[in-house]
Amino acid sequence: MNWKDKVVIVTGASSGIGKAYAEAFAAAGAAVVMAARNAEAMEEIRRNLEQKGTRTLVVKADVSLEEDCRILIEKTLEVFGRIDILVNNAGISMRSLLEETDLSVIRRLMDVNFWGMVYCTKYALPHLLASRGSVVSISSIAGYKGLPARSGYSASKFAMQGFMESLRIENLKRGLHVLIVCPGFTASNIRNVALKGDGSAQGETPRDEARMMQPEEVAACTLRAIVRRKNTLILTGQGKMTVLLNKFFPKFMDKMVYNTMAKEPDSPFK
């Protein structure tokens, strides 16, 4: 693939996997449009990329707002005139038992993780069809197996995957590439800012981030999957095993997932 001809939009680009995506696409030679709420962080990334010769655009956007997503697509077209790849990466998580969770928390997760993806995809779709491009949504193993104390997160990812599969089949003969990426546990700040039952940020991750897959690995694997126009990308051995075993032994996996989550520091199951 000649990446120098491509224009890529990455949502949630200010940190973590989104930042790694922006840097990976830039290193490949693509023009990169970064969208997130934290404009200051994106500006620092933009400066670093432009020093290396990358064409960039920063758009401050909250993907839970439909108008922000529409403006993101419009500004991209104004500057670059086309869209080749949309990476729906923006997302938040949660950690709380349902009985202790305010419903506004679950609404917030659906607004960002699901509706943000829907809004961006809807407005970008005509242009992705014109370029026979790729729409990539970052899901999770939680989109295959419901995770306890993360009911809203799993719900948003299950919904995302159903939407993406429907989109793929609708456009099966129109040249649109639809890729679902499920990274498994990846080192990022998503657990630090995960919402508690009352809607406040968790603040500290309950997991050892250093032992997880790094964002740069996720980005590199995703670029290869885009070139190969794969349908699904499931990462980490644990993630692949969870998806496989859950097909044949769902009750056994219920117990395994429960036991794994119960071992987390300050687990709500203790």
* Active site residues per annotation: 153
As a whole number of angstroms, the distance between CA 180 and CA 194 comes to 22
Assign 211 to helix, strand or coil: helix
**Coil, strand or helix at 234:** strand
Helices marked H in the chain:
16-28, 39-51, 66-80, 103-109, 116-131, 151-170, 215-227, 237-248, 250-262
Spatial CB neighbours of 177, under 8 Å, sequence gap ≥ 6: 132, 133, 134, 135, 226, 229
Minimal CA–CA distance to 229: which of 155, 177, 176, 157?
Answer: 177
Instruction: Say how far apart CA 43 and CA 201 lie, in whole Å.
Output: 24
Encoded amino acid at 110, one letter? M
| Total residue length of the chain | 270
Q: What is the DSSP letter of 94?
A: B
CA–CA separation, 270 vs 266, rounded Å? 8
Tokens of residue 160, six digits: 């995302």
Phi and psi at 11, nearest 5°, equal -90, 155
